[in-house]
Structure 1
Amino acid sequence: MTYAITGATGYVGASVLKRILENTCVPVIIIGRSASEDTAGRVSRGLAAAGHSVTAEDVNRLEFVKASYYKPHLDLSLRDYDRIADATDHVLHFAANLDFVGSTSELDRDNVQSAVQMCKFAQDADSRLTYCSSSYVSGQRTGDIFEDELIDGGFTNTYERSKFLAEQYVRWWHARTHKPVDILRCGTVCDGKLPSDGSPTHSIRGFCEFSQHFEGALTRKLNHAAVPRELVLTGNPEAFIHPIFIDECADIIERIIRQQQDGLTAYHLTSGQQLTFGEMFSVLNEFRDIPIHLDPNKRESDLSRHERLFVRMSRGFARYFARVDRTLDQENVRGIVGAAYEFKTVGRQELMVAATPPTQTPDAQIPQKISVPQ
């Protein structure tokens, strides 16, 4: 058994790779977009952030291959392509462009065409494919969203559309080739740790860091009288995201990978929690001089210039402030973890850690093993 993995430097990919290294003895081919030494350094930092220090034994099991996911034969020579295809038994495709406001052409290249080429690689390798999709392929759909269906209900942004089209292709490819496929529809993956330098981060912390930088820019560039007392954005405080802790997410993915189920199975990897933006902002505002509030009755045309600037610079995140009532079915996930399994939920403590500026430590109890980066 040999795994070939893309996206091993990312938040989810690094955590899955950690479990492969710790719980198996199989070789791993890491397909990266950078030079081998650059990818190796990023993988090492990602593994360290996930709690794994690379050992000499790990080094002997890892092979780094520089490739372009969206090009035929991954832009490798036919000799190199055939060599790694012949060696691969299971393809894990985690790489993706997560830019909510990316151009259609860039997202089609990085997400759709990459999925096409990784399917072709899995076919040439005669291997299983585990593809990391997104719970956001549901787009603007409401009501019950089932794991085994994929329906176009319109999309909030070009990212959602690209992930929908990519999953659509993976499903078509499975129907044509009958290769076994796992589809991982991850929700908003997060943790309760302070970030490490150079390590992958999650979108909740990323938004908190953005709001901190935005506030800092306003206070530096405006005189005191011109600094807004608050930002009131168009949105519903009851709008929510579907979170899951990275450790739980990676543990379930490892179990899915080991299960080697026939056919195609999709999984909604979320905790089932509906984390509202009202909850998030109530904690975030404790760390900000310019609090952020959501008003469902406020029209976008009524936003101040600073509020419009915030929305524009949030790179599409603010679009999720509109409430979409839906429930993600988890029948297939429950088949993995059991009907009685209780997921951890994101609470005040985790939000405080995400909202804490890097130079501060939140007042709540944080494990002593976490060091605050300087």
Structure 2
Amino acid sequence: MKGCLLTGYPGFLASKLLKEMQRRNEDTQFALIVHPSQLDKAERLAANKQNVRLFAGDITKEGLDLDAEQTEWLREQMTHVFHLAAVYDLAVPKKIAEDVNITGTRNVNTFAQSLPLLERYIYFSTAYVSGKRVGVIKEDELDQGQAFKNHYESTKFEAEKLVAELKNVPYTIIRPGVVVGHSVTGETVKFDGPYFIMRFLDRLRYIPIPYLGKSEALFNVVPADYIVDATLCLAQSEDAVNRAFHLTDPSPYESRELYRMVCKELLGKTPSWTISPALVEFALSISIFRRFFKVEKEALEYFRCTSQYDASGAKGVLAKGGVQCPDFKDYVSSMVKYYKTHRRDPDKLIQVK
């Protein structure tokens, strides 16, 4: 790997990818496309890092808003592109999601096509491009006429289609499930996704804890270190060229069981009764309740999702590289411990309106 371009820095996954790639590839030149609003933070985090250059750019603009000299240097150096920059907020307005996720990906696609030394283009999608589909979702499926739960899903779907339509570009599409912190340290950058469970339970700690319905839906959680290791394995595998991969838990737990494990680890007790999900959803449709429980209404959809993400393609390729997904029960304690230590950190809290 001569040169590697990343978008999405200083985001959590982009930062972890950079750190691991630097460890494995000491001679690689890394170029980070950083939005001007994130440049100060990126400069602090990248200080003293070897072989790293930061470029103030904007993926929503043609040419990534780089000047001719910067563009020429990148064309002479870059052999790999990792496109992670996106808006991940489940409640994101449509226009913002379209600008960043669709227009941004189109511009990164065009830039990648202009790189004469390009060996691989790795695009970060999401397993939830499946939208409201139910049943088994396969890795070689994308457009099945599905509807979507929110603008995040629909725009990531449209963006992935743009990548899959590229000609003469060796791409690999990564579709993670719900990403949580490191399986050993628990480290994460934001308390969203399953962490909403913990925020909800924190508010109920002094009363008997309810289950949120009786759903047998599976909840697909994967730790960040698995995503990093799996991505780098796929990025180097010839078996992964022009394919999409579900980086999801091959043996996911039911939402109810995952909720029980988190509750036991966080509060030292388990749920003892069941509340109607419709009642919870109604409550979270009212802003005062959302702010009290610190939970986004949109997050509920993912706890009752009846999709099953077939990850057999990823499992087969990753097995050759010795990469496998940890079991949630083996890292839930690390995840909860980190949350308990940092739950009052304002930088990690998702602001709920």
Structure-2-length-normalised TM-score = 0.80
CA distance in 2, matches of 1:359, 1:329: 32
Q: Which runs of 5 or more residues in structure 1 are unaligned?
A: 45-55, 220-227, 362-374
Larger deviation, residues 77-86 vs 126-135? 77-86
Shift of 1:230: 6.1
Whether the aligned pair in 1 keeps the contact of 2:234 and 2:317 (CA below 8 Å) is: no
Equivalent residue, structure 2, for 1:15: 16
Say whether 1:101 aligns with 2:108.
Answer: no
Whether the aligned pair in 2 keeps the contact of 1:237 and 1:294 (CA below 8 Å) is: no
Secondary structure at the counterpart of residue 159 of structure 1 = helix
Would the alpha carbon gap of residues 339 and 83 (structure 1) be closer, same or farther in structure 2, given more than 3 Å must change?
closer
Would the alpha carbon gap of residues 87 and 171 (structure 1) be closer, same or farther in structure 2, given more than 3 Å must change?
same
Whether the aligned pair in 1 keeps the contact of 2:177 and 2:246 (CA below 8 Å) is: yes
Shift of 1:285: 3.4
Give CA-to-partner distance per residue, 1:149-193, whole Å, 9 cap, x none. 212321122111111111011112x2xx22110000111223335
Shift of 1:201: 4.0
Equivalent residue, structure 1, for 2:232: 254
Secondary structure at the counterpart of residue 327 of structure 2 = coil
CA distance in 2, matches of 1:123, 1:313: 41
CA distance in 2, matches of 1:142, 1:9: 34
Query: Aligned pair count?
Result: 331
Equivalent residue, structure 2, for 1:39: 42
Whether the aligned pair in 1 keeps the contact of 2:201 and 2:263 (CA below 8 Å) is: no
Secondary structure at the counterpart of residue 148 of structure 1 = coil
Equivalent residue, structure 2, for 1:367: none
CA distance in 2, matches of 1:359, 1:343: 24
Shift of 1:84: 2.1
Give CA-to-partner distance per residue, 1:312-353, whole Å, 9 cap, x none. 842521122324142324224412324997532101x53334
CA distance in 2, matches of 1:111, 1:259: 26
Secondary structure at the counterpart of residue 325 of structure 2 = coil
Say whether 1:91 aligns with 2:84.
Answer: no
Whether the aligned pair in 1 keeps the contact of 2:133 and 2:146 (CA below 8 Å) is: yes
Shift of 1:294: 5.6
Say whether 1:344 aligns with 2:326.
Answer: yes
Whether the aligned pair in 2 keeps the contact of 1:233 and 1:303 (CA below 8 Å) is: no
Shift of 1:205: 5.7
Whether the aligned pair in 1 keeps the contact of 2:196 and 2:294 (CA below 8 Å) is: no
Would the alpha carbon gap of residues 233 and 147 (structure 1) be closer, same or farther in structure 2, given more than 3 Å must change?
same
Which of structures 1 and 2 has the bigger CA Rg? Answer: 1
Would the alpha carbon gap of residues 341 and 65 (structure 1) be closer, same or farther in structure 2, given more than 3 Å must change?
closer
Whether the aligned pair in 1 keeps the contact of 2:59 and 2:107 (CA below 8 Å) is: yes
Would the alpha carbon gap of residues 251 and 97 (structure 1) be closer, same or farther in structure 2, given more than 3 Å must change?
same
Shift of 1:284: 3.8
Say whether 1:276 aligns with 2:254.
Answer: yes
Secondary structure at the counterpart of residue 328 of structure 2 = coil
CA distance in 2, matches of 1:148, 1:262: 12
Whether the aligned pair in 1 keeps the contact of 2:186 and 2:334 (CA below 8 Å) is: no
Whether the aligned pair in 2 keeps the contact of 1:192 and 1:350 (CA below 8 Å) is: yes
Shift of 1:233: 7.9
Secondary structure at the counterpart of residue 319 of structure 1 = helix
Larger deviation, residues 241-250 vs 63-72? 241-250
Equivalent residue, structure 2, for 1:147: 139
Structure-1-length-normalised TM-score = 0.76
Say whether 1:354 aligns with 2:335.
Answer: yes
Whether the aligned pair in 2 keeps the contact of 1:141 and 1:153 (CA below 8 Å) is: yes
Equivalent residue, structure 2, for 1:207: 196
1:157 pairs with one of 147, 150, 174: 150
> One-letter code of the match for 2:139?
E
Give CA-to-partner distance per residue, 1:221-250, whole Å, 9 cap, x none. xxxxxxx94676864442322222322221
CA distance in 1, matches of 2:241, 2:39: 34
Shift of 1:90: 1.3
Would the alpha carbon gap of residues 284 and 259 (structure 1) be closer, same or farther in structure 2, given more than 3 Å must change?
closer
Secondary structure at the counterpart of residue 332 of structure 2 = helix
Would the alpha carbon gap of residues 155 and 181 (structure 1) be closer, same or farther in structure 2, given more than 3 Å must change?
same
Secondary structure at the counterpart of residue 6 of structure 2 = strand
Whether the aligned pair in 2 keeps the contact of 1:100 and 1:315 (CA below 8 Å) is: no
Secondary structure at the counterpart of residue 316 of structure 1 = helix
1:168 pairs with one of 143, 161, 166: 161
Secondary structure at the counterpart of residue 91 of structure 2 = coil
Say whether 1:240 aligns with 2:218.
Answer: yes
> One-letter code of the match for 2:296?
S
CA distance in 1, matches of 2:20, 2:185: 21
CA distance in 2, matches of 1:256, 1:297: 39
CA distance in 2, matches of 1:289, 1:337: 36
Secondary structure at the counterpart of residue 334 of structure 1 = helix
CA distance in 1, matches of 2:281, 2:63: 49
Would the alpha carbon gap of residues 94 and 232 (structure 1) be closer, same or farther in structure 2, given more than 3 Å must change?
same
1:242-321 mapped onto 2 (5 Å cutoff): 242-260=220-238, 263-286=241-264, 287=266, 295=275, 298=278, 303=283, 313-314=295-296, 316-321=298-303
Larger deviation, residues 318-327 vs 126-135? 318-327
Equivalent residue, structure 2, for 1:180: 170
Equivalent residue, structure 2, for 1:30: 32
> One-letter code of the match for 2:79?
D
Equivalent residue, structure 1, for 2:113: 123
State percent identity of aligned pairs.
19
CA distance in 1, matches of 2:154, 2:58: 22
CA distance in 2, matches of 1:302, 1:62: 49
Whether the aligned pair in 1 keeps the contact of 2:186 and 2:336 (CA below 8 Å) is: no
